[in-house]
Amino acid sequence: MSDQTQPENKLAQAPDLLDSDVILRVENVTKIFPGTVALDHVNFNVHQGKVNVLVGENGAGKSTLMKIIAGVEQPTHGRLLLNGKEIRIRSPLDARDQGIGIIFQELNLFPNLNVTDNIFMATEVMKYGTIDQKRQKQVALGLIQRLEQNINLDAKVGDLRIGQQQIVEIAKALAEDVRILIMDEPTSALSAAEVDALFRVIGELKAHGVSIIYISHRLEELLQIGDYVTVLRDGRLIAEELISDIDLSWIIEKMVGKNLESLFVRKEHPFGEVMLRIDDMTLPGLSGGLIVNHVSFELHQGEILGFYGLMGAGRSDLLDCLAGNRAEAVGHIWLNGREIKQKSVSGRINSGFILVPEDRRRDGIVPTLSVSENILLASLRHYLNSLGFLTRKKEKGAVENMIRELSIRVASPQQLVTSLSGGNQQKVIVAKGLLTTPKILMLDEPTRGIDVGSKSEIFEIMSKLAAEGYGILFVSSELKEIMAMSDRIIVMSKGSITGEFTREEATEEKLVMASFVGHKTTTGGNLNGRKKHD
C-alpha cells in the first residue's frame, strides 16, 4: 500500500505518550465538497502546551481541517474530542466558547477602523452597558507591547503596512482567553525582529499550557518552533512525528515526494547584452531622508538579478519606482539603449516593465473577478478589433495559452480567482504580466505564502523566462531562494546598495553582513533568510 493509505506514525507505537497530553483529537474526519474530497478520514492530535505543526501543499486539506476545528466548516463524517469528550463546533462562536481561537492566513480586519477597535471586534470590553474605550486601549497597548511593536493604536488598519496588520491580527487573537490557538501563516508578512518577538510570545503561551496549531510554508522555522509535526497530502494523513526526530528533507519528501535539492529549478544559459541600466534612482521620504538612495545597476538579457536586504532596505520601493508606482522618484532608466521618459504605471507597462507585487491579494488580483478576467486585466488593448470592441475568441485563446504554459490548475477560466490556491493565484498574476509582452519582469517576494511545491513551479517559470531572454529582477527575503535562483545578487540596506555578488561569490554570511551595513545591531549568518519586508 502507498503511504497515503498507511500513514507513517511512530507515535502510534507509543500510545501512552500520544494519549497523555492530547487535549484535542480529530478522529477519522472526512469533508466532501461537490466534486471534491477535501479530507479523507484524517486523524490529527493537538498536544497540550505544545506547538503542533501542520504541513502540506496548498490543496492538501490544512485550511479545511482548521476551519472544521474553528467551526467555520462542518465535517461530513468523523468527530472531534476535547479532553476525551466528543464536542460539536457549529460556529466560530462555539469554538470560542470551547477556548479555540484562530489567526487566519488572509487577514480578517476592518481597514477603516483603528487598531484598538479591530483587536476587540466582537469581543468588546463592556462597562455599564457601553464599550469601555479606556480599558480596551490599555489592554491593546499591553498586547502590542508584548509583541514588541510600536504601532499607533489610533491609526486606521488600512494605513498600516502588511506586517503591522499581521501583528494586529495576532494581537486580536491574543486578546481572547484561548486554550487552543490556530496560527495559519502568522509570519508570512513579518520582519525577522517581528518573527522573533512572536516566537517569544508563543513560548509564553506554551508555558501557560496553551496549545498552538501552527501552519507555515517557511519550513525551516517549523523546526525551530515546533514540537510535533503532522503532514497532509491530497486530503490524507501522510505522517505524524516528533520534530526532534526529523529534518527539513523529511518534511519536504513527505509533502511532495521530492527532495530539497530538486526544488530549485534552473536552466543554465548564456546572457545577452546589457538590456537595462538604472542610474542614480532616488526616492525621497515623506519626513526627510531617502527611501531609495542613488541606486545604480545594470541587468543583462536573460539574467536573474536578485535583491536581498532587511526590512526597510528599499528593495520593494526600488521596484515600485521602476514600475511607475512612485511619481516622486527621480533617476534615469535606459532599456535597450533608449531612455525611458514615461513615469506612469501604464507608461512603464507600455515601455516593457511589469511588476508582480509582494501583496498579491491587495495589489495583484481583483478578487471579485474570474481567472480569465484577471489574466486579461492589464492587456485588454491587445484584444480590440478595428471598431474598438473586444475580440472574445482572441481573448479566450490568450487565456488558455497562459493557463497551459504556466500550468495553472483551474477547473474553468471562468471560476473566481480567489477559489485558487495561493500558488495558482501567483501564476495568474505572472500570466497577467506576460500578456503585456514585457521585457523586464519584476518579482517581489513571488513565493510568499505559497507551498513548497508551488515555489518549485514558480522557480521553474522564472528560469524558463530567463532562458527565453527576459530580464528578471527578483526580490526575496529567503536566503536559500535568493542564492539558488539568482545569477547575481545585490544587497541593499537603508536604501543603498551595500554589496554585490556573483552566484559563485555569494555566501549566506556575506549577504547577511552586507544587509546589516548601517545598522547598529550586527549578527552572524545563521538567520536562514528570515528577513522581511520592505
Q: Is residue 357 part of a domain?
A: no
Residues 280 and 246 in one domain: no
Among 417, 437, 457, the domain-final residue is 437
Residues 379 and 506 in one domain: no
Residues 444 and 346 in one domain: yes
| Residue among 233, 262, 265, 229 at smallest CA distance from 247 | 229
Residues 346 and 445 in one domain: yes
pLDDT for 515: 87
Q: 284 lies in which domain range?
A: 264-352+439-534
Residues 344 and 429 in one domain: no
Q: Would the pTM count as exceeding 0.85?
A: no
Q: Is 102 exposed, middle or buried (0-12, 13-18, 19+ CB in 10 A)?
A: buried
pLDDT for 45: 97
Rounded Cα–Cα distance for residues 316 and 312 (Å): 9
Q: Is residue 359 part of a domain?
A: no
Among 209, 236, 259, the domain-final residue is 259
Residues 255 and 272 in one domain: no
Residues 65 and 35 in one domain: yes
> For residue range 316-345, what is the model confidence (pLDDT) as tens digits?
999 999 999 999 999 999 999 999 999 999
> For residue range 39-92, what is the model confidence (pLDDT) as tens digits?
999 999 999 999 999 998 777 889 899 999 999 999 999 999 999 999 999 998
Residues 78 and 219 in one domain: yes
Amino acid at site 370: S
Assign residue 523 the CATH number of its domain.
3.40.50.300
Q: Is residue 75 part of a domain?
A: yes
Q: Is residue 360 part of a domain?
A: no
Q: Is residue 361 part of a domain?
A: no
Q: Is residue 191 part of a domain?
A: yes
Among 233, 259, 285, the domain-final residue is 259
- What does the block give as the cell for 403? 493557463
Residues 332 and 274 in one domain: yes
502 CB neighbour count, 10 Å cutoff? 10
Residues 184 and 79 in one domain: yes
- What does the block give as the cell for 189? 508578512
Q: Is residue 335 part of a domain?
A: yes
Residues 15 and 93 in one domain: yes
* Residues with pLDDT less than 50, the chain: 1-5, 12-18, 520-534
| Residue among 342, 302, 270 at smallest CA distance from 439 | 302
Counting the structural domains of the chain, the total is: 4
Residues 5 and 91 in one domain: yes
Residue by residue, DSSP assigns 290-339 as EEEEEEEEEEETT-EEEEEE-TTSSHHHHHHHHHT--TT-EEEEEETTEE
